[in-house]
């Protein structure tokens, strides 16, 4: 490999690193221990993994660094030259950090590629990511002893407010939220009218790319969904076009459903599939970041285990998939999405959710009361369309400040 052959990679890296904004950082940026030799950054398509890597290069090494480089394996350069040859050149010329994006474009042997780079260049550090959550999930176990894995979720409501330059606020701890929510919420609503921002966030604020395409956001989000189903899913499962069409239908049916324990037999009948295939589809959609499956307490979801509740992963997906969003489903989807990052959340026999095995939550509109959970210890009502709560009644929007 010659310097002339590598020049295009250097120029592309310098341009992309130089163009990235460092005005806003995702929550994960400071959680990553960048000293690890092998780091995997996972996350659904569109959550900002690429930006995260480029920001770190710019801030830790600088534009035009001779120690770190950003490469993307979907670059046409790699149709002519090999990844290992390029890394070998970088190693010989004193580079210490290689950030590899779109790693799944290497093909079915991407795990072997990462393993070989790690083993054959022991003086180098590697950070890799890719848009195909399904492929990265399927290969995670093969590299588990070598790598540190981080998962990047979409923007929390707190992050959205910062991203929009509406307000900056620290992360609120879960226990602090429960015990001191009235003071916290009062301080926040004293700075801005929170409900209009909350309503907008639920429609367009979860994926950072909304800022690039406000008018076309729904179309771009639907294109992302199609890519997951038509490209990512077939890459890990031997599925037919008919199965892909059935999976799309399942996603739409679930996006428009009301929040109740699903009748699985009826669901399979509606989409025209049988139990085992249906459960495999659900698991794949969950791993891809399109659905969120709620387990029963103590249960571990697998390919052939039945979830107690099923939601779209986030409310933005709901609004993109169906013309009329059910208010109850939207509320529960938002709550589950924002709480699940750092907490064990499962189906509750009495309320809507149980969190960390000790707290029960009933999620509803402004007038929702304690009727269903009045005799439960550590029980809370989560109210939509409410700025500030009182006692064990907490506003729904505030759970978006947990990360």
- How does pLDDT run across 232-284, given as a tens digit for each residue? 888 777 778 888 888 898 898 888 887 667 788 888 888 888 888 888 888 88
User: 227: Cβ–Cβ under 8 A, 6 or more apart, which residues?
Assistant: 45, 131
- pLDDT at 52 (0 to 100): 97
Q: Residue 354 burial (CB < 10 Å; 0-12/13-18/19+)? A: buried
- Rounded to the nearest 5 percent, the helix, strand and coil shares of the chain are 50, 15, 40
H helices within 205-240, ranges in order? 217-227, 233-236
The DSSP call for residue 297 is T
User: 257: Cβ–Cβ under 8 A, 6 or more apart, which residues?
Assistant: 310, 326, 329
Instruction: Show pLDDT as tens, one digit a residue, over the chain (403 residues).
Output: 899 999 999 999 999 999 999 999 999 999 999 999 999 999 999 999 999 999 999 999 999 999 999 999 999 999 999 999 999 999 999 999 999 999 988 988 889 999 999 999 999 999 999 877 676 776 555 677 889 999 999 999 999 999 999 999 999 999 999 999 999 999 999 999 999 999 999 999 999 999 998 889 999 999 999 999 998 888 777 778 888 888 898 898 888 887 667 788 888 888 888 888 888 888 888 988 999 999 888 776 665 568 899 999 999 999 999 999 999 999 999 999 999 999 999 999 899 999 999 999 999 999 999 988 988 899 999 999 999 999 999 999 999 999 9
- pLDDT at 38 (0 to 100): 97
- pLDDT at 345 (0 to 100): 96
Query: What is the architecture, at CATH level 2, of domain 3-151?
Result: 3-Layer(aba) Sandwich (3.40)
The CA angle 83-87-93, to the nearest 5 degrees, is 150
CA distance 235 to 232: 5
Q: Residue 137 to residues 62, 150, 218: CA-CA distances in angstroms? A: 31, 12, 26
CB 134 within 8 A of CB 236: yes
- pLDDT at 133 (0 to 100): 67
User: b/e per residue, 92-124, with b = 16+ CB within 10 A?
Assistant: eeebbbbbbbbbbbbeeebbebbbebbeebeeb
- pLDDT at 235 (0 to 100): 77
Instruction: Write down the mean pLDDT value for the chain.
Output: 92
Residue 370: φ, ψ to 5°:
-95, 10
Q: How many CA atoms lie within 13 A of 89 on its CB side?
A: 16
Short-list 110, 342, 330, 118, CA closest to 236? 110
**Overall residue count recorded for the chain in this entry:** 403
Output the six-digit token pair for 200.
């907008």
- No. of H helices and E strands in the chain? 15, 12
Antiparallel, parallel or unpaired: β 345-347 and 97-101:
unpaired
CA distance 54 to 244: 34
Short-list 64, 49, 10, 263, CA closest to 136? 49
CA distance 49 to 197: 25
- pLDDT at 275 (0 to 100): 85
- How does pLDDT run across 114-131, given as a tens digit for each residue? 999 999 999 999 999 987
Output the six-digit token pair for 12.
């592309």
CA distance 233 to 249: 15
Short-list 310, 269, 347, CA closest to 277? 269
Which 3 state secondary structure label does DSSP give 304?
Answer: coil
CB 17 within 8 A of CB 71: no
Q: Where along the chain do its domains lie?
A: 3-151, 159-401
CB 381 within 8 A of CB 396: no
For 73-224, where are the E strands, in sequence order? 97-101, 125-129, 148-151
CA distance 291 to 285: 5
CB 98 within 8 A of CB 124: yes
Longest dimension (CA), the chain: 73
């Amino acid at each position: 490999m010659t310097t002339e052959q590598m020049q295009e990679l250097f120029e592309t890296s310098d341009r992309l690193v130089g163009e990235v904004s460092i005005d806003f950082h995702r929550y994960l940026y400071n959680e990553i221990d960048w000293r690890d030799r092998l780091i995997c950054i996972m996350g659904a398509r569109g959550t900002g993994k690429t930006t995260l890597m480029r920001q770190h290069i710019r801030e830790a090494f600088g534009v035009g660094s001779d120690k770190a480089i950003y490469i993307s394996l979907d670059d046409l350069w790699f149709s002519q030259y090999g990844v290992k040859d390029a890394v070998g050149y970088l190693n010989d010329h004193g580079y210490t950090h290689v950030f590899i994006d779109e790693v799944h474009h290497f093909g079915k042997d991407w795990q072997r590629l990462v393993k070989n780079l790690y083993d054959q260049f022991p003086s180098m550090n590697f950070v890799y990511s890719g848009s195909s959550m399904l492929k990265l999930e399927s290969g995670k176990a093969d590299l588990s002893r070598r790598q540190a894995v981080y998962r990047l979720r979409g923007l929390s409501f707190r992050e959205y407010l910062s991203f929009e330059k509406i307000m900056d606020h620290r992360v609120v701890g879960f226990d602090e939220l429960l015990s001191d929510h009235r003071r916290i919420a009062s301080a926040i609503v004293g700075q801005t009218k929170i409900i209009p921002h909350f309503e907008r966030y639920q429609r367009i604020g979860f994926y950072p790319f909304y800022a690039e395409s406000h008018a076309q956001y729904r179309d771009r989000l639907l294109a992302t969904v199609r890519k997951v189903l038509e490209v990512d899913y077939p890459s890990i499962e031997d599925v037919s076009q008919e199965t892909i069409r059935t999976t799309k239908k399942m996603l739409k049916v679930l996006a428009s459903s009301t929040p109740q324990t699903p009748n699985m037999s009826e669901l399979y009948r509606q989409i025209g599939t049988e139990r085992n295939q249906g459960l495999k589809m659900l698991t794949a959609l969950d791993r891809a970041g399109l659905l969120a499956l709620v387990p029963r307490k103590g249960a571990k979801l697998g390919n052939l285990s039945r979830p107690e509740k099923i939601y779209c992963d986030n409310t933005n997906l709901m609004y993109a998939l169906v013309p009329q969003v059910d208010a109850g489903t939207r509320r529960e989807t938002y709550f589950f999405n924002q709480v699940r990052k750092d907490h064990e959340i499962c189906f509750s026999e009495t309320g809507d959710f149980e969190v960390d095995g000790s707290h029960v939550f009933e999620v509803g509109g402004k007038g929702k009361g304690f009727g269903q959970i009045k005799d439960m210890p550590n029980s809370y009502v989560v109210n939509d369309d409410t700025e500030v709560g009182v006692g064990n009644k907490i506003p729904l929007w505030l759970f978006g400040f947990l990360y």
